[in-house]
Amino acid sequence: MKTMLIVTGPRGSGNHLFSKIFALHDKVYGWDQLLDTYWIAHKDEPFAEYWKNHELLTTFDWDQSDYYVTSISCPYHNTAIPTIPNYQQFIATLQELKIQVKVAVIGRDQNILKSQQQRVRNHVTLNDFLQQLDYLNTFDPIYLSQELLYLYKEHYIANIAKLLNFPVTANDSRIAEILKQDTNSKYIKDIDIQELDKFIRKISFIK
């Protein structure tokens, strides 16, 4: 049975990052173009036009693969207009076409996420996505963590493949390059020693 994996989450939570990971497997029709560059506007995502007009899915050539991945942030930019993806129509059309739908919800530290949204878009849109979770949860999604991906790398990717029952490669040499720079690091600043730190250092015999 042909399968479409929908990777979605709040703006700035790792759509491009996870799109690269899912595009590595040669059996998957994904955002291959991303593997040759750091960032591409979402208007060039393979199914971007299909999110704008779900009926186009009926004209798509589904003989190209048995496994597909699409990435969509919430909200996304439809020209200059922030738009909530029409998950229900998109998924309903896939189901009418007998395409199995799987959902992966991506996430990131909420403080970093809000800071990133405010910095880049001048507006925090996290709640726009949170309002969609009741519907998305009906598809028993797996939840993906940007932090766990950077921390555990290929071990975490192998776990994702097992949970999704979907082709995901964890032993590709390109993974090291994709994960070379943790994008959270620019948000981390040293802080003064805290009272609890002093207690922990004392019981750990650290001077």
Show me where the domains of the chain are located.
3-182
Do strands 100-107 and 142-145 pair parallel, antiparallel, or not at all (unpaired)? parallel
Higher local confidence (pLDDT), 78 or 125: 125
pTM value > 0.75: yes
- Per-residue pLDDT of 18-72, as tens digits, reads 999 999 999 999 999 999 887 788 889 999 999 999 999 999 999 999 999 999 9
Q: What angle do CA 40, 30, 171 make, to 5 degrees?
A: 100
Radius of gyration of the chain (CA): 19
Range in 2-6, 58-62, 186-190 the model is least confident about? 186-190
Q: Hey, which bits of the chain come out as E strands?
A: 3-10, 28-29, 67-74, 76-78, 81-83, 100-107, 142-145
Do strands 76-78 and 67-74 pair parallel, antiparallel, or not at all (unpaired)? unpaired
Range in 48-62, 111-125, 188-202 the model is least confident about? 188-202
Per-residue pLDDT, 37: 85
Q: Is the dihedral of CA 177, 7, 50, 98 positive or negative?
A: positive
- Which amino acid, 14? G
Is residue 135 pLDDT above 70, yes or no? yes
Is residue 202 pLDDT above 70, yes or no? no
What residues contact residue 99 under an 8 Å CB cut-off, 6+ apart? 1, 2, 3, 4, 62, 68
Q: Which two tokens stand for residue 15?
A: 């759509």
**CATH class for domain 3-182?**
alpha beta
Average per-residue pLDDT for the chain: 92
3-state secondary structure of 145: strand
**Residue range 101-112: average pLDDT?**
96
